[in-house]
Amino acid sequence: MTRIYGGIPNEGIFLYAEKMRDVLSRPHLHELAVSCGFCKRNGKLKPEVFFALLFYTVSHTEEGSLSYMVSLLKSEFGICIKKQSLHERFTDRSVSFVKSVLAEVINEQFCNLYSKEFLPEYARILIKDSTKFFTPSTLSDNYKSCGNGRSKSSISIQYEFDLKSGSVTYLEITSGNRNDRTDAEATCENTENGDLIIRDMGYFCTSVLKKWSCTDAKKVFYISRLDCNTNVYDSNGERVCFQKVYKSMRDGKIIEMEMQVFIGEQTRLPVRLLLRLVPDEVYEKRIVEKTKKSKGQGRGQLTNETKRRCRFTLFITNADEATLSTSQVFLLYKLRWQIELQFKGWKSVFKIDTLHRMKEHRYITLLYVKLMQVMLNMQIIYSVQRSIIQKDYKKIKIISVNKSLKTLKRLFYKTFIMFCGVSRKFKEIAQHIHNVLSEDHWLESKNKKICFPEILQLLICISEK
């Protein structure tokens, strides 16, 4: 059985901590602060103190109030400062400062989380999605609401990571009313030769898919759900009748099949269309949900074509069957759910969506620090995952992100000291965190449901054949 882990030594966290101690060191933080204009002269609130203050604040409270931070400065750092003075330090320059630190943190990541046998045909497997949440109305000028009337302001965080390496490839805070398709068009060039892109229907855009498929400089592959509004044509240029396809599959007791088709009335982009029939109860549930959504958006009743397509789970891809089989496509798309689980941890554990009413610059500064905290802890989890060599390869064991994030939040002080403290015991701290996460933090398989470890194992076994 193939080893799934990269097999670096047990000091994985220690190696990562050494990298971060350079990134978050006093000289480097000062350099970043000067370069973005946050630090212009020596004062009480030095860049490293300001950064530590923010890190402590987002770790200990969900409010981010000035009163709390002023008190924290006095108790932890012996610095007395008025609330108004601290308030004035939160500007576009403070946002630039923490954003530049976050960029450095993201730049220093581990790679090759899983073995080379995991779909070796693809350089990266990129999963992208967004998470949205309402924010205080004080942000409404630059962060418009995504609707529903609950708030005048909302934020969307666009996030992409490489499933093979665990590396974050894109992280951006945008206005909540900026939809995913707009992001897909704006970032379609952020790809490399041999990438495999996995996204949901929110990013579906035939012009983007065409750019990925028809470039001479690089070949980018994708797996996408097919939306209900895109025309599908057969090799003769005739519209595919999904009612006939359904009847043929039902009568022939065929569960799944694939077709070579063209999508888009103007584009006529050649793709593999993969179809899988869904049970009647799933079909009925889809109809109810789509009808409710359609009426909520003022579009009225569902079209007959939409109802017909609800009979299937529909995927399109430009990868050929020799390198990406039908079974692999369905398995891989299940792994897209990992990004939803990460978002759940961001909100339930690190409370990225619960900052109280405050001026925009302080809100965005603290939000970027919260995201930085998430990224640091995710890299700790990945470093432990990589360092574990399984003795029994019959069943892959994966560390639970949710369990680990909860534990790491409780161990905030230790991780902070490990990354940017002066303690000479940071090796011991790194070993302690490794030991804690490698015990009783495993992802548990659910009865009658294929989970992440089993999917990963199946994909590796299929790739080796």
**pLDDT at site 96:** 96
Give 359-401 pLDDT, tens digit per residue.
999 999 999 999 999 999 998 888 887 776 544 445 567 788 8
**pLDDT at site 2:** 36
- 324 with 366, same domain: the answer is no
- 374 with 271, same domain: the answer is no
- 205 with 327, same domain: the answer is yes
3-state secondary structure of 434: helix
- 302 with 237, same domain: the answer is yes
Q: Is residue 131 part of a domain?
A: no
- 304 with 233, same domain: the answer is yes
Cβ(101)–Cβ(29) below 8 Å: yes
- Name the strand (E) or helix (H) holding 180: helix 180-186
- 207 with 301, same domain: the answer is yes
Q: Is residue 120 part of a domain?
A: no
- 383 with 329, same domain: the answer is no
Cβ(400)–Cβ(381) below 8 Å: no
What is the end-to-end Cα distance of the chain in Å, rounded?
12
**What is the number of structural domains in the chain?**
2
Q: Is residue 276 part of a domain?
A: yes
- 451 with 411, same domain: the answer is yes
Q: Is residue 164 part of a domain?
A: no
Q: Is residue 127 part of a domain?
A: no
| DSSP string covering 212-250 | HHS-SS---EEEEEPPTTS-EE-TTSPBP-HHHHHHHHH
**pLDDT at site 128:** 94
Strand 232-233 vs strand 153-162: parallel, antiparallel, or unpaired?
Answer: unpaired
Q: Is residue 141 part of a domain?
A: no
Strand 269-277 vs strand 256-263: parallel, antiparallel, or unpaired?
Answer: antiparallel
Residue 420: give the domain boundaries: 12-108+358-457
Kindly list the distances between the CA atom of residue 284 and the CA atoms of 161, 203, 251, 294, 312, in Å, as whole numbers in the listed order: 34, 25, 20, 15, 12
Q: Is residue 343 part of a domain?
A: no
Residue 120: which residues within 8 A CB-CB, separation 6 or more? 463
- 290 with 325, same domain: the answer is yes
Query: Where a domain ends, among 267, 300, 334?
Result: 334
Query: Where a domain ends, among 334, 368, 385?
Result: 334
**pLDDT at site 17:** 84
Alpha-carbon span 167 to 15, nearest angstrom: 16
| DSSP string covering 378-415 | HHHHHHHHHH---S-TTS---B-HHHHHHHHHHTHHHH
405: exposed, middle or buried (C-beta count within 10 Å: 0-12, 13-18, 19+)?
buried
Query: Where a domain ends, among 334, 369, 386?
Result: 334
Give me the average pLDDT of each 10-residue run along the chain (465 residues).
Answer: 40 79 91 91 86 90 85 91 93 96 88 66 91 92 78 92 87 93 91 92 88 77 89 93 94 94 89 94 91 75 88 93 88 87 91 91 95 92 72 61 90 86 76 86 66 58 49
Task: Report CA 199 to chain centroid distance, whole Å.
Answer: 11
Tokens of 89: 């330090």
Alpha-carbon span 187 to 162, nearest angstrom: 16
User: Tokens 């933090």 sit at which residue?
Assistant: 441
Cβ(79)–Cβ(45) below 8 Å: yes
**pLDDT at site 11:** 60
Closest-CA residue to 161 (of 120, 234, 110, 94): 110
Number of residues that make up the chain: 465
Alpha-carbon span 97 to 29, nearest angstrom: 9
- 293 with 371, same domain: the answer is no
- 253 with 307, same domain: the answer is yes
Q: Is residue 187 part of a domain?
A: no
**pLDDT at site 14:** 80
- 326 with 226, same domain: the answer is yes
pTM for the whole structure: 0.87
